[in-house]
């Protein structure tokens, strides 16, 4: 898919997520790889209500901005996107959410979220039944990006559903295209919302 059509669809998705409250206070970040293998990532400090094509900037595989406007800064979490592309090479698009339910649920869970029995589990690629027991890795939060690199490398075998959560921070989900990445992010959010509401009984 061309850079232009990916960006248009991605911007539409980001604005919908913003209305859901998933990107408060300029938080969250998004990236994709275009048809020429160029990585594009949302720049830092953008109000997602008004994000536009110009807010996606090209970076190299080390996270350095390769465009002309040197005042543009890639997202502070660029390194996490690069680790995901390295670990799961079929990935073409990555979405990050600060949706409240995974964050709430992370405050009462450690190491992973566990889900079973919910129809929406089939939103994860390859899942065909609500009966499977799913574990989604939950990482501690850190401002040190090398911490995430170590965690993601060491927990790669646990990352089976193209997503993970960071404690009291948010979720990352990805896919071979936007449709798949959205499905993964929204499935995880729904499951967290369900589990959190159960804990409130």
Task: Give whichever of 26 and 66 is closer to Zn ion, judged by the CB atom.
Answer: 26
* Total interface residues for Zn ion by CB under 5 A: 1
Map the footprint of Zn ion across residues 50-109, applying CB under 5 A: none
Contact assessment for residue 123 and residue 183, using Cβ atoms and an 8 Å cutoff: yes
Task: Give whichever of 34 and 186 is closer to Zn ion, judged by the CB atom.
Answer: 186
Contact assessment for residue 190 and residue 122, using Cβ atoms and an 8 Å cutoff: no
Map the footprint of Zn ion across residues 30-59, applying CB under 5 A: none
**Stretch of 37-45, 116-124, 166-174, 187-195 contacting Zn ion, by CB under 5 A:** 166-174
From the CB of 170, what's the least distance to Zn ion, in Å? 5
Task: Give whichever of 74 and 170 is closer to Zn ion, judged by the CB atom.
Answer: 170
Give the span between the Cα atoms of 60 and 63, in whole angstroms. 5
Provide φ and ψ at 50, rounded to 5°.
Answer: -120, 25
DSSP line for 39-81: EEEEBTT--GGG--GGGEEEE-TTS-B-SS-TT--B-TTHHHH
From the CB of 192, what's the least distance to Zn ion, in Å? 15
Q: Which residues bind Zn ion (CB under 5 A)?
A: 170
């Amino acid at each position: 898919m061309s850079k232009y059509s990916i960006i248009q669809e991605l911007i539409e998705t980001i604005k919908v997520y913003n209305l859901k409250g998933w990107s408060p206070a300029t938080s969250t970040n998004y990236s994709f790889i275009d048809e020429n293998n160029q990585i594009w990532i949302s720049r830092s400090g953008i109000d997602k209500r008004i994000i536009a094509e110009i807010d996606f900037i090209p970076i190299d595989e080390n996270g350095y901005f390769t465009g002309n406007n040197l005042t543009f800064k890639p997202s502070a979490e660029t390194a996490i996107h690069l680790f995901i592309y390295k670990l799961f090479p079929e990935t073409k698009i990555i979405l990050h959410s600060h949706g409240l339910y995974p964050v709430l649920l992370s405050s009462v869970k450690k190491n992973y979220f566990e889900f079973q029995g919910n129809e929406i589990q089939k939103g994860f690629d390859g899942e065909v039944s609500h009966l499977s027991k799913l574990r989604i890795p939950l990482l501690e939060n850190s401002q040190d990006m090398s911490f995430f690199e170590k965690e993601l490398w060491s927990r790669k075998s646990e990352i089976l559903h193209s997503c993970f959560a960071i404690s009291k921070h948010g979720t990352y989900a990805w896919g071979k295209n936007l449709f798949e990445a959205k499905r993964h992010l929204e499935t995880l959010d729904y499951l967290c919302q369900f589990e959190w509401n159960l804990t409130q009984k």
